[in-house]
Amino acid sequence: MSEELIYLEATELESLVSHKLQAAGMSQEHAEEVGRHLRYADARGIHSHGAVRVEYYAERIAKGGLTLKPAFKFEQTGPSTGIFHGDNGSGHVAAKEGLFHAIKLAQDTGVGIVGISKMGHSGMLSYYADIAAQSDLICLTVCQSDPMAVPFGGTEPYFGTNPIAFSAPTQGERPIIFDMATTVQAWGKILDARSKHLEIPNNWAVDVQGQPTTDPYKVQGLLPIAGPKGYGLMMMVDILSGSLLGLPFGKHVSSMYSDLSKGRNLGHLHIVINPAYFTDLRQFKENLSTMIAELHENQPTKGFDQVLYPGELAEKIQAESDIKGIPIVREIYDYLISETIHFDKYDHSDTFAEKE
């Protein structure tokens, strides 16, 4: 059965998230940034990275697994490169601060590559890609996560969902934004299905026997997209955002749930490119707009009204949310407005949030 949904204005959702995280111990500045980030996700229909995450964040904050006053530091390592040291603070805040340094490097030198070292969970990657595109820049951003995906041909999780996001500015329209997990679905989609008491498709994950499952509570391994291709991509992401920064890799990446009193030491990498260093910026943006127009003119196949560009569906959902409000599961809303900080639900659970 599906859960009742209620609809909130963006400012109300941001405020509820921020106040809950502040009640758990996070600073107002950082809590407000996480609120903006989660609102962005929910408003665009990516509920796997929205308010469904708040209780987990609050429990980790309350139990000391996030540095509340991190000593952020940017270390420039070359003309176009640097490392942003996150001190196990909020990944949402650290990744955004690291992005601003990458943007500055790209504006000054044509390319900016910044790794964010030792941070918490950084949320939805298209949030960062969107910011870069608003400055007329191309962005490729990747981050590692804890082992949840079985390697192609294997039965035991080794890599994380290890997402990738890409953006590019256009002339007039919103940016092209591509955001994907390297698994068939992100772990947050499983959490979203749990919150709504829904089954999942049988090609998302496997159970303890390595067999396909439709029960989100029986998931013991996520599947890579397109078999060996997704497997290769998740390895690439792990290398770029983990090994490249001297951080733990593969099955050594810290678990999201095993001990919420400890920092996660996760890695993230932003690669920002300034098109103006390679071609005429105006012509570049016009060409991408022409590409979008030609895709819209492409004859749609059965079951489709129109060919959309990457990110366009999220834009349509965003526009609807601006009118109707952002849909939130009633159970999540009730938690947000309650006095409860968390329900001690995640700490010392296994990889898939089941109590050991």
Residues annotated as catalytic (active site), given as ranges: 121
- Residue 115: strand pairing partners: 83, 269
Angle (CA) 239-87-147 rounded to 5° is: 40
* Full DSSP string of 76-131: EEETTEEEEE-TT--HHHHHHHHHHHHHHHHHHHSEEEEEEEEE-----THHHHHH
**Angular region, 45: left φ>0, alpha ψ -120 to 50, beta rest:** left
Q: What is the largest CA-CA distance in the chain?
A: 57
Nearest to 108 by CA among 85, 131, 135: 135
Number of Cα atoms under 13 Å in the Cβ half of residue 245: 32
Please give the Cα distance from 356 to 351 (Å, whole number): 10
Name, in order, each residue with C-beta under 8 angstroms of 356's C-beta and a sequence gap of 6 or more. Answer: 348, 349, 350
